Amino acid sequence: MNKPSEIRKKFLQFFETKGHIIIPSAPLIPENDPTVLFTTAGMHPLVPFLLGQPHPAGKRLANVQKCIRTVDIEEVGDTIHNTFFEMLGNWSFGDYFKEKSINWSWEFLTTKKWLGLDPNRIAVSCFAGDEDAPKDEDAADIWRRIGIKDDKIAFLSKDDNWWGPAGQTGPCGPDTEIFYWIDEDNPAPKKFDPIDNRWVEIWNNVFMEYNKTKAGKYEPLTQKNVDTGLGFERLVMVLNQKRSIYETELFTPLNVILQKHTKKTDIKSERIILDHTRTAIFLLSEKLTPSNLEHGYVLRKVIRRAIRRMRNLEIKDYQDLFKKLTHELINGKNFDYPYIDYYPELKTNENFIVDELVKETVRFEKVLEKGIKEFNKSAEQIKQKIKDPNKQVLSGRLAFKLYDTYGFPIEITKELADEKNIKVDIKGYQKAYQQHQELSKQATEGKFKGGLADHSEITTIYHSLTHILHSVLRKTLGSHVEQKGSNITAERLRFDFSHPGKLTLAQIDEIQTQVNRIISRDLEIIKEKMALDQALAKGALGLFADKYGDKVTVYTIQNKQTGEIYSTEICGGPHIKDSQNIGSFKIIKEESSSAGIRRIKATVILNPKRSTSVRDWGSRN
Ligand code: GLY
């Protein structure tokens, strides 16, 4: 048995014997690199040194880097793809180049002292050459000298045998990839066929000698570098003769827990749950919170996809399973692989990880069933209306609605559609999404035009929204929240309130969701005059009460159908009278206003089909 912790140790030891300094893993969320969302390889944090800046630890480094890659998210569920993984890597900054790099990879993989893999099961690929760089005969010759036969060397194009840059620009170069034949029942074929998935790529040696410029040109770097990446999960799999990474000790303790929660078997769902939960735990350990933006959205996506898959396995208590998996990964006695020794942030932030998983689960649970119902209904209609299975397509508009209203990442909608053999109009979805973004942007920038000629209406809507926001803030953050100021223009509302600290992204998201939930309803706003005492007894917020004399006006915003009260405030108006589906409310800024006072700026994208009637236009009682 090749223990994961032993393999890890051996790799670092090997490169120490070759004069490398071991550096710690960088965070998953890059600190100073806006060109990428996540660290997808060990070389990311090293870009300045690949470009020529001297590294304080020298010219030879190695490490184990935690990585997130989501380009292959739809492949997760097969035997080898992950969204979170660890990468073993070694680097040369203008020091050794192809000869040493390739020979060391071979030595580490095949000698008995180190990993002792069977040389007959190894094949390689090299860069085939194109207008940017020549065919990599140097690398192939090194392999030939090692003893690799020509039949086991494939020359492939830039799509396969070129690495980088990590963002749009930066260091890059041809690479040579090392494949291992994993089929234990059959000997490795004489000829290497990269298409056969029993050849699994395990190690990539990149020869970074180019810099890709903004203009798309490949310029030679001042120094020739080496950047390698050896996928840890795959290596553990190969060394333990497993057919999938999920059968390795990196996953089996988590799988034992998962199996206790379900009686159903669905390997793909099981793998997605294990992979995505691990990814979520690691992202949360860096204090990221789920949101609808960039990093936070990826986190939301993996959590929601995992939940959807739990539903497929008829698991009811998503929260409980997340809690147990987190506990096992962080504290589990069954793990040979002590993640917390390598990544102490997991332990430090354990409570945060669990809390955020629970919160996101609560949010998604609220809409999941409704969203699936809506999807099923539409799928049924499509199937009834369109008989030709090739033409059964879910519209982009509906896919966007599932995203916008029910929080379904498009991948979930695609999976649901796949299960029913329906296609999704992804282009249409992207168009609807972009239109929405554009509208938000225009509104944010105050450029919104058309359909909103009457400023009285929008400012009145903002006034009523301010009341709803106020009460949602008190419900979400606590009753210490008091209005400290408000300002409304045709483009936005501004609301100042007492609160001791910055709002988290999760809080902002929750507030936004709650306001949106309320304004999507059928609302009526009741205006009553009463004595101040009476209003206060009714629980009306009356922050400027003394302004209004003995008799005050109280506005109550309530659900027309159920009578549920969302806000009661003493106020001079004006307000809307009733409304249905106002539109989409968005917080565009949260900042400090002064000590102990926060400021929110928010906007609304009005629904063209809303029905709103306005009371007291322009009059203030
Ligand atoms: N940077 C090399 C690799 O990720 O394969």
Cβ of residue 41 lying under 6 Å from some atom of ligand 1: yes
CA distances (Å), origin 561, targets 144, 522, 565: 78, 7, 11
* Mean pLDDT within 197-204: 96
Give the N- to C-terminal CA distance of the chain in Å, as an integer: 81
428 in Cβ contact with 399 (< 8 Å): yes
Atom of ligand 1 nearest to the CA of 228: 2
C-alpha 253 – ligand 1 centre gap (Å): 28
- Residue 442's pLDDT is 59
- Residue 133's pLDDT is 96
Cβ of residue 117 lying under 6 Å from some atom of ligand 1: no
* Mean pLDDT within 474-488: 87
Helix or strand run (H / E) with residue 105: helix 98-110
Which class is 4-241 in CATH?
A: alpha beta
The best mutation among 177, 204, 207, 208 to test binding of ligand 1, ranked by most ligand atoms within 8 Å of the C-beta, falls on 204
C-alpha 348 – ligand 1 centre gap (Å): 29
Show the tokens assigned to 375: 């999807």
- Residue 549's pLDDT is 56
C-alpha 163 – ligand 1 centre gap (Å): 7
- Residue 545's pLDDT is 41
**pLDDT above 70 as % of the chain:** 94
- In this structure, which residue's CA is closest to atom 3 in ligand 1? 229
- The DSSP bridge partners found for residue 524 are 558, 578
pLDDT reading at 455 higher than 70 = no
Q: 313-319: long-range contacts at Cβ-Cβ below 8 A with a sequence spacing of 24 or more?
A: 313/261, 313/262, 313/264, 313/266, 313/269, 313/270, 313/273, 314/262, 314/263, 314/264, 315/261, 315/262, 317/261, 318/361, 318/365, 319/357, 319/358, 319/361, 319/362
Give 440's pLDDT tier (boundaries 50, 70, 90): low
- Residue 34's pLDDT is 64
Residues 536-557 as b or e (16 or more Cβ within 10 Å = b) = beeebbbeeeeebeeebbbbbb
pLDDT reading at 449 higher than 60 = no
CA distances (Å), origin 191, targets 123, 148, 282: 9, 11, 40
CA angle 408, 412, 414 (to 5 degrees): 120
> What does the mean pLDDT of the chain come to?
90
* Mean pLDDT within 244-263: 96
Question: What is the Cα Rg of the chain in Å?
Answer: 29
Ranked by mean pLDDT, the top range of 81-95, 379-393, 525-539 is 81-95
Give 546's pLDDT tier (boundaries 50, 70, 90): very low
* Mean pLDDT within 514-543: 86
> DSSP string covering 25-86, please?
PPPSS-SS-TT-SS--STTGGGHHHHTTPPPTT-SEEEEEEEEE--TTGGGBTBSS--SEEE
The best mutation among 87, 92, 200 to test binding of ligand 1, ranked by most ligand atoms within 8 Å of the C-beta, falls on 87
The best mutation among 67, 68, 206, 210 to test binding of ligand 1, ranked by most ligand atoms within 8 Å of the C-beta, falls on 206
Residue length, the chain? Answer: 621
Show the tokens assigned to 305: 């996809």
Distance of CA 221 to the CA centre of its chain: 33
- Residue 451's pLDDT is 33
Please tell me the distance from the alpha carbon of residue 327 to that of residue 254, in angstroms, as a whole number. 10
* Mean pLDDT within 549-562: 84
C-alpha 170 – ligand 1 centre gap (Å): 14
Show the tokens assigned to 507: 């809080």
272 in Cβ contact with 306 (< 8 Å): yes
* Mean pLDDT within 426-449: 70
Atom of ligand 1 nearest to the CA of 41: 4
- Residue 336's pLDDT is 85
pLDDT reading at 100 higher than 90 = yes
* Mean pLDDT within 588-610: 88
Give 105's pLDDT tier (boundaries 50, 70, 90): very high
Atom of ligand 1 nearest to the CA of 43: 1
* Mean pLDDT within 605-617: 74
- Residue 543's pLDDT is 55
- Residue 456's pLDDT is 63
SS3 letters across 417-428 = HHHCCCEECHHH
Please tell me the distance from the alpha carbon of residue 351 to that of residue 365, in angstroms, as a whole number. 21
Q: What is the pLDDT of residues 330-351, one digit of tens each?
A: 999 888 899 999 999 999 999 9
* Mean pLDDT within 164-187: 92
Please tell me the distance from the alpha carbon of residue 129 to that of residue 137, in angstroms, as a whole number. 9
- Residue 619's pLDDT is 32
- Could you count the other beta carbons within 10 Å of the beta carbon of residue 345? 17
Please tell me the distance from the alpha carbon of residue 226 to that of residue 203, in angstroms, as a whole number. 13
Cβ of residue 229 lying under 6 Å from some atom of ligand 1: yes
Cβ of residue 163 lying under 6 Å from some atom of ligand 1: yes
| 457-617 under CATH 3.30.200.20, yes or no | no
C-alpha 203 – ligand 1 centre gap (Å): 8
Please tell me the distance from the alpha carbon of residue 465 to that of residue 492, in angstroms, as a whole number. 10
| Those residues with Cβ within 8 angstroms of residue 444's Cβ, 6 or more apart along the chain or in another chain | 492, 586, 588, 603
Cβ of residue 40 lying under 6 Å from some atom of ligand 1: no
C-alpha 41 – ligand 1 centre gap (Å): 6
- Residue 405's pLDDT is 87
Please tell me the distance from the alpha carbon of residue 10 to that of residue 222, in angstroms, as a whole number. 33
Atom of ligand 1 nearest to the CA of 204: 5
Please tell me the distance from the alpha carbon of residue 238 to that of residue 216, in angstroms, as a whole number. 38
pLDDT reading at 194 higher than 90 = yes
Atom of ligand 1 nearest to the CA of 166: 1
Domain ranges of the chain: 4-241, 252-448, 457-617
- Residue 615's pLDDT is 61
Give 79's pLDDT tier (boundaries 50, 70, 90): very high
Cβ of residue 207 lying under 6 Å from some atom of ligand 1: no
Please tell me the distance from the alpha carbon of residue 446 to that of residue 603, in angstroms, as a whole number. 9
Cβ of residue 85 lying under 6 Å from some atom of ligand 1: no
Please tell me the distance from the alpha carbon of residue 258 to that of residue 322, in angstroms, as a whole number. 9
pLDDT reading at 617 higher than 60 = no
- In this structure, which residue's CA is closest to atom 5 in ligand 1? 229
* Mean pLDDT within 567-579: 84
Show the tokens assigned to 576: 């809307």
pLDDT reading at 181 higher than 70 = yes
Please tell me the distance from the alpha carbon of residue 50 to that of residue 30, in angstroms, as a whole number. 17
C-alpha 165 – ligand 1 centre gap (Å): 10
Q: What is the pLDDT of residues 12-42, one digit of tens each?
A: 999 999 999 999 999 999 876 666 789 999 9
pLDDT reading at 383 higher than 70 = yes
| Nearest Cα to Cα of residue 462 among 428, 424, 495 | 495
| Cis peptide, bond prior to residue 165, ω within 30 of zero | yes
Cβ of residue 206 lying under 6 Å from some atom of ligand 1: yes
CA angle 72, 75, 76 (to 5 degrees): 95
Cβ of residue 92 lying under 6 Å from some atom of ligand 1: no
- Residue 343's pLDDT is 97
Q: What is the pLDDT of residues 274-325, one digit of tens each?
A: 999 999 999 999 999 999 888 999 999 999 999 999 999 999 999 999 999 9
> DSSP string covering 270-315, please?
HHHHHHHHHHHHHHHTTT----SSHHHHHHHHHHHHHHHHHHHTT-
